[in-house]
Structure 1
Amino acid sequence: MGKLKEKDVELFLLENRDFFVNHPAILAEMDFEEEKGGVSSLLQRQVARLRDEQNKLTGLLSNFLETGKENEILFSKIRSLVLQILDADSHEMTKKVFESSLKKDFQIEACSLEFLDQKSLINLGDATNLNLLKSEVFTGTFNIKNLKTFFNSEKIKSAVVASFNYGEEKFGLIKFGSEDPIKYLGEADVTFVEFLRDVLAVSLKRLNHNV
């Protein structure tokens, strides 16, 4: 194939006047000499707009791919945790794999899973002025007294607390804590804890039947 001549390109563009309309990405990559006013100036503005849109699309695609990669990693970690919980053959093992995975894989600063009877849970609720018998996730910046009651530490500034029932007068208590006062303020944390709470309840009920 012979070398393409400029005249050939000119003729092609004249015969295909909608070429750049159908291929705007090519136009965005072209260079034009700067002139004031006229068709050339209008074309430069159009090219600048196309380049800006192309950059935005490229940025969105990069963010999408990065988010997809992060979500894939998160899904893998959650799946691993769920399988470990379901594979646990005792309350002690459930507690161990739960706390270990959250600290290692999810970087939760302070986390614990406790098992209480109904009376103990009611007493804890009275001490913190929270109705822990309700199927509710409490999150945010608790007062200092409550944080110390839950975590026995003055370093914790925000937390997530949720209880669940897994048998007659048998309850579990999930606690996440952070030294960052705004760490646990979003709905995402509530959804995550609700999911873990439901998985734990199912697994522990199964262990009750196996006893």
Structure 2
Amino acid sequence: MSDTQPEPSSSVPELDEDQVAAWLVAHPDFVARHPEAFEAQAIGHDAQGAASLIERQVARLRQTNRELAARFEELVGTARANEDRVVQLNRVARIMVGATEVDALIAALTDSLQQHFGVDATGVFLEGPARADINRILWLDDASAAHEALTHVRRRGKPICGELTAAQAKALFADGDDDAMFTSAAFIPLGRSEVRGAIVLASRDPQRFTPDMGTLFVELFGALLTATLARLIGDDAVA
């Protein structure tokens, strides 16, 4: 018979570290009530020579404060950018409301977008036969290069921002002497029940229009222009 006695089972339950941490967070006065527990902890010195838990807490609070300040500045920047977009949208909306003729409308929009929106070229494209009384709209047919260049936005039916290839620039802005210099663009569909064309805002700056930028304001711009064109040239053109 063996004289070996079974070891008594431990009465201390095994605790998960996350549970312990959560409990300590919920009871911040624990160390004050049980200083012996604090004395038993192995709290090393960091590279900056912090020698106490209080210093560590202060450093952590300062870091949190820096993160909150950076987040606040980011939110302020976003709010200012959105305010600028609202002002720009209101500006072009006033132009559309007062428009009585298509060519004058597009000329005024082009000037405003160049001055206030950082756009270097603007093109308006619609399906249908050319109209002798409208010169600033390029009328699309299935065989045209411009029709092909707008395939992606016509299929998606939503604004697309990003790279403008040299082939697209040539197809959409062939009358310009420097069309190849346009490197980014916002493709904004026009039409009510279906896409009947697009307005393209082009820039020489490759970062002016990027795939990750928000499209809410350009989508609203497209809806406003669709309604204005319907009023000026008839619902059939943008139905």
Which TM class, normalised by the smaller chain length? Answer: 0.5 to 0.7
Could you tell me which runs of 5 or more consecutive residues in structure 2 were left unpaired when the two chains were aligned: 1-27, 30-47, 131-138, 235-239
Alignment of structure 1 residues 109-148 onto 2, 5 Å:
109-114=120-125, 117-118=128-129, 120-122=139-141, 123-124=143-144, 128=148, 130-131=150-151, 135=157, 137=159, 139-148=161-170
Size of the aligned set, in residue pairs, is: 172
Q: Which protein is bigger by CA-based radius of gyration?
A: 2
Report if aligned partners of 1:99, 1:113 keep a CA contact under 8 Å in 2.
no
Could you tell me which runs of 5 or more consecutive residues in structure 1 were left unpaired when the two chains were aligned: 1-16, 19-33
Cα gap change, 1:73 to 1:208, in 2 (>3 Å): same
2:187 match: secondary structure: strand
Q: Which position in structure 2 is the counterpart of 1:160?
A: 186
Q: CA deviation at 1:116?
A: 5.9
Q: Report the AA paired with residue 186 of structure 1.
A: P
- Do structure 1's residue 177 and structure 2's residue 202 form an aligned pair? yes
Q: How many angstroms apart in 1 are the aligned matches of 2:187 and 2:80?
A: 29
1:54 match: secondary structure: helix
Cα gap change, 1:65 to 1:140, in 2 (>3 Å): closer
1:113 match: secondary structure: strand
Q: CA deviation at 1:145?
A: 2.5
Q: CA deviation at 1:195?
A: 2.1
TM-score, normalization by structure 1: 0.64
Q: Report the AA paired with residue 128 of structure 1.
A: E
1:89 match: secondary structure: coil
- Do structure 1's residue 70 and structure 2's residue 81 form an aligned pair? yes
Q: How many angstroms apart in 2 are the aligned matches of 1:64 and 1:189?
A: 15
Q: Which has the higher helix share?
A: 1
Q: Which position in structure 2 is the counterpart of 1:149?
A: 171
Percent identity (aligned):
22
Cα gap change, 1:198 to 1:144, in 2 (>3 Å): same
Q: RMSD over aligned Cα, in angstroms?
A: 3.4
- What do residues 162-200 of structure 1 show as CA deviations (whole Å, max 9, x unaligned)? 45348xxxx654122222345433254644433222111
Q: How many angstroms apart in 1 are the aligned matches of 2:61 and 2:228?
A: 55
- What do residues 104-157 of structure 1 show as CA deviations (whole Å, max 9, x unaligned)? 111112223356635741233576365476545455435433321111222122
